[in-house]
Structure 1
Amino acid sequence: MSLPLSPAYDLVVVGSGPTGSTYVREVFEQHPGARILVVEAGPRISDPPGGHVKNIADDERRAQAQRASEGPSPASPGRPGTRLLAAPDMPAAAVSTNVGGMGAHWTAACPRPGDGERIPFIPAAEMDQHLARAEQLLHVSADAFDDAPFADEVRHRLARHFDDGRPASRRVAPMPLAVTTRPDGSRTWSGTDVVLGSAARDSRVELADRCLCLRVRYEGGVVTGVVVRDLSDGGAGQETEIAASAVVVAADALRTPQLLHASGIRPAALGRYLNDQPQVVFAVRLPDDVVATHDAVTDRTRDEDGGIVPQSGVSWVPYTDDQPFHGQVMQLDASPVPLADTTPVQPGSIVGLGWFCAKDVTSEDRITFADDTNDAFGMPTATIHYRYTDRDLATIEAAKRAVTEAGTALGAPLDPAPFLLPAGSSLHYQGTTRMGPTDGDTSVCDTFSRVWNTVGLWVAGNNVIPTATACNPTLTSVALASRGARSLVEHLLRRETAATVPPSRT
């Protein structure tokens, strides 16, 4: 979208991923008069905007959408749809830059956190309500792939090994996934188009793609708007100031603190407590006698209109405090482990196991920003500082043992041993604008995601999560965004009331 836009909005949301879109949806529904602008540095890559790239049926169009998400050159492509950041301490650190953010590329896994993953200063019953709302927004289903081949057998074998002594909520189960099931039985993956719902088609909500937010403006601790630049002409566009009653920065865990830093908003905890989940992977082939008990199924995984055929079973071994890792067990095309052997196999009989570890969260794991050099977007150059503690190394070794036991319970290993992926591979970066119950040096925002000492500014994303999690974080961050949106609506209504009440006579 070319600038100029309207000069003023009630709400400006920076970033069009799942949490930014959650703020849009909640404010749109709870405040019928609010005018909302979404600012996104990347391009539209799908129709509708924010749709998941897996729903694009044509292979070449899907690849084009992924390439368009990799950001400005020079770019080092990472996983499809992302570019690597060339960070020595976190070599696999990567980001996506497109409408929908990582929500256009994610695996759509939406488990609920448990035990020590839970945020201790938000009442459990209240958080469960927000998690339920997040499941609604993302269209989460735990039974969408119940008919995947061998899924029951996979879960039966895993349960026999892991379930003893676990409470019901922490036992092996189908992975809750953000999918929509069509009447014909095919599935589509949820992107931010699903989160936005009717808000995406309403004139009160505007989307400015290829539009970079340079700074959040504030005066006397009160947000007044944002400064943006049109990137549609290659980034040479002039700076434009847009007034706003409230701003949400939802630009991911690496670029949200970058924007706050560039804006001069620099609480002590900004960029600190960076959390990436160490990821251990393994692959096995189900035994021949198990495969022989199932009828052969087609190797077709996609309909002509993008619908996903239910062949990829995804199972879940939940985190517990005793076993501080989260198991994601994926079959067929969903497997994170590429196969060297190209021999045709029965769909669903190859199982990839990914064990995500809870990180030892420390303030020394952080992202810092230079004031004298800029990145390809013209923003302060970022440097990631990250290491595994002795506790992390012990957790990783325990995860290797657990995933080996899980693989042995399932079938014949395809690798000699499980291996640890490079730091940053999880793409589950958290903590860099973490919330806290009180203002201090260990948090950036309060429990409603409002930045401390800055009126009218919210932060959103996995970066808000303060705990050491192992499970996929999107459901939690969307739940926290829904919670924060309620306080944002109250803020807008208070401003409107104050503006309409005449001054009292003395």
Structure 2
Amino acid sequence: MSARQYPASVDVVIVGSGPTGAAYARILSERAPGTTIAMFEVGPTVSDPPGAHVKNIADPAERARAQAASEGPGERGEKVANPGAAKAGVRGARPGTFLLDDGYAFEGEDGMPVAAMSSNVGGMSAHWTGACPRPNDSERIPFLPDLDELLDEGERLLGVRTDAFDAAPFGAIVRERLSAAVDAGRVDRTKVQRMPLAAHRRDDGRLVWSGSDVVLGDVTRANPGFTLIDESLVTRVVVEGGRASGVVVRDLRSGEQHEVAARVVVVAADALRTPQLLWASGVRPEALGRYLNDQAQIVFASRLRDVAPLGADAPATGLAEYSGVSWVPFTDDVPFHGQVMQLDASPIPLAEDDPVVPGSIVGLGLFCAKDLQADDRVAFDDEHLDGYGMPAPRIHYTLTARDHEVIDRARAEIVRLGEAVGDPLDSRPFTLPLGSSLHYQGSTRMGLADDGTSVCDLDSEVWGVPDLFVAGNGVIPTSTACNPTLTSVALAVRGARKIASVLSREQVARGAASA
């Protein structure tokens, strides 16, 4: 799947190999199997199979090399393994990610000091926590009548399950204690529950995280018309006659440039680099890059009371099945989403003191919904370039009075929940620097009409540029607090179905004409 032969033309070009780009490839392979697809990824292949989660790599040194290879161009910055470093003022990225060199904050604005990206096959799904909750209340997209069916399909592609930790004694204890503190007055769908997770069991019986490899699935890997080419930078979408007609792509190994013609182009980079490529291609609708929103993240930690120690043979890699991930859903009345993880399941270790019972340190995280503002945006110009030579993202971002109010409420709530679960490890919660959630949304948002407030229609096709589709968290038009990947994949399913329908009709028409 990583041949260096660049095709002259294909039916569909997909820019980016994260979960949404993979969803387009999967749906097209299932619904229009004769379609030729070229997927280009700027980063290298860092796992086997391509797109697999790097935390599934058992050898620590190999895992660290895979993470380092995902950290983009230029110097490797200092990594933040826990909030202690952030508290000390270190501006660092988590392993597997890299930060903007500059342009992340401007005078008089809050900015996103730790806005981060990954460059590797699988994108951020090679590094994520696998959490796939469904949106609730105002998080939902009100003008998509088929949203629930699309979410069902997203769960199928991601391999979402809620029983991954059913045998975990600590997970049940955590949910029981959280439920006593949270559930009163909530309907069933918003009560404390198991976190839906993209996780699967390998042939050897080990439970591991899912990545883009699972979304692609065997049907895509077996599709003779599908090609994945890594270390390939798409520098421009070609627009001719007002329609997308292909891409210009640079082989980062050789430096050679290729033009690949395509019937359809799907840009599924991320919420910063998808608008970057559109801007560089001269596709600049009024809402491009605007309504950018992150989820302010508050963290806290408690040690579980009254739990028995586990044996020394408990697993140290993959998903430790004595652990658990619990979910406190967002509601309009309580506008934050809770992700509660035992230490080994968290991307940010929360305790460094004496040796602890595995799984007994509970990391609580609350993610806050953001007020949407058109002036919160990622912008580009011809003067500033990133490490790839593309227009560098410049982030303008400001918290509103309501945002500060929600954050203050979340800080009080997380202490209450931490005390309900166990004995807090600190007297105060910590608000992570803006950008820490990695859940950036809105920059290529979907809308009902081409009225300057959205970039694409309900099928994710860019207004005014037929055959150009966008994908990823940036397409989500609502303010959310929950992890956005499931919603993004659901929206990608809708766009992929539209493309598959059009291509299938054209194939039938060509067949009839040649008969």
> What's the TM-score bracket when you normalise by the shorter of the two chains?
over 0.9
* Other-structure match for 2:356: 345
Question: How far 1:184 sits from its partner (Å)?
Answer: 6.4
Q: Which of 252, 257, 261 in structure 2 is aligned with 1:231?
A: 252
Pair 1:164 & 2:184 matched: yes
Q: Which runs of 5+ in 1 are unaligned?
A: none
Q: Secondary structure at the match of 1:241?
A: strand
* Residue equivalent to 2:500: 489
Matches within 5 A, 1:369-384: 369-384=380-395
- 1:241-283 CA distance string (max 9 Å, x none): 1000001000000000000000000000000011100000000
Find out whether 1:391 has 2:416 as its counterpart.
no
Matched positions, count: 491
- Among 279, 297, 310, the alignment partner of 2:311 is 297
Q: Deviations over 1:291-318 (max 9, x none)?
A: 1xx3623363346xxx533122111000
Q: Say whether the 8 Å CA contact 1:445–1:451 is kept in structure 2.
A: yes
Q: Deviations over 1:417-436 (max 9, x none)?
A: 01110000000000000000
| 2:298 equivalent to 1:285 | no
Deviation at 1:172, TM superposition (A): 0.1
SS in 2 for 1:381: coil
Matched residue type, 1:175: M
Distance 1:141-1:3 versus aligned 2 partners, 3 A rule: closer
Per the alignment, in what secondary structure is the counterpart of residue 27 of structure 1?
A: helix
Match of 1:22 in 2: 23
Conserved 8 A contact 2:300-2:418? yes
Identical positions, percent: 57
Q: Confirm whether residue 120 of structure 1 aligns to residue 131 of structure 2.
A: no
2:432 aligns with one of 407, 413, 421: 421
Which residue identity is paired with 1:459?
A: V
The one of 457, 471, 474 aligned to 2:482: 471
Find the counterpart in structure 2 of residue 138 from structure 1: 158
Task: Indicate which of 85, 91, 94 corresponds to 2:113.
Answer: 91
Instruction: Give distance in 1, aligned partners of 2:29 and 2:75.
Output: 38
Query: Which residue is equivalent to 2:129?
Result: 107
Q: Contact conserved, 1:4 with 1:240, CA < 8 A, in 2?
A: no
Conservation of the 8 A alpha-carbon contact between 2:170 and 2:322:
no
1:26-425 matches, within 5 Å, as 26-77=27-78, 78-86=93-101, 87-88=104-105, 89-123=111-145, 126-182=146-202, 186-198=206-218, 199-233=220-254, 237-287=255-305, 290-291=306-307, 294=308, 296-298=310-312, 300-302=314-316, 307-425=318-436
Cα distance change on mapping 1:332 and 1:338 into 2, 3 Å:
closer
Q: Find the residue that maps to 1:370 and give its secondary structure.
A: coil
Amino acid at match of 1:23: Y
Q: How does 1:429-444 map to 2 (within 5 A)?
A: 429-444=440-455
Shift of 1:181: 2.6
**3-state SS of paired residue (1:367):** strand
8 Å CA contact retained: 1:298, 1:347: no
Paired AA for residue 113 in structure 1: P
Q: Over aligned residues, Cα RMSD in angstroms?
A: 1.7
Deviation at 1:499, TM superposition (A): 5.2
Deviation string, structure 1 residues 164-209 (Cα, Å, up to 9, x no partner) = 1111000000111101134765301101111001212432110110
Deviation of the 1:372 alpha carbon: 3.1
State the SS of the aligned residue for 2:380: strand
Which has the higher mean CA deviation after the structures are superposed, 312-321 or 371-380? 371-380
Amino acid at match of 1:209: D
Query: Are residues 214 and 281 of structure 1, via their aligned partners in 2, closer, same or farther at CA, if it must alter by over 3 Å?
Result: same
Paired residue secondary structure (1:373): coil
2:84 maps to none
Q: Using the TM superposition, give the Cα deviation of residue 438 of structure 1 relative to its aligned residue in structure 2, in angstroms.
A: 1.1
2:4 and 2:76 mapped to 1: Cα distance? 26
CA distances 1:57-113 after superposition (whole Å, capped 9, x unpaired): 000000000000001113435101000114232111100000000010010000010
SS of 1:195's partner is helix
Distance of 2:352 and 2:384 partners within structure 1? 46
| TM-superposition CA deviations, 1:417-460 (whole Å, max 9, x none) | 01110000000000000000111110000011111111111100
Query: Where does structure 1 differ by over 6 angstroms across 4 or more consecutive aligned residues?
Result: none
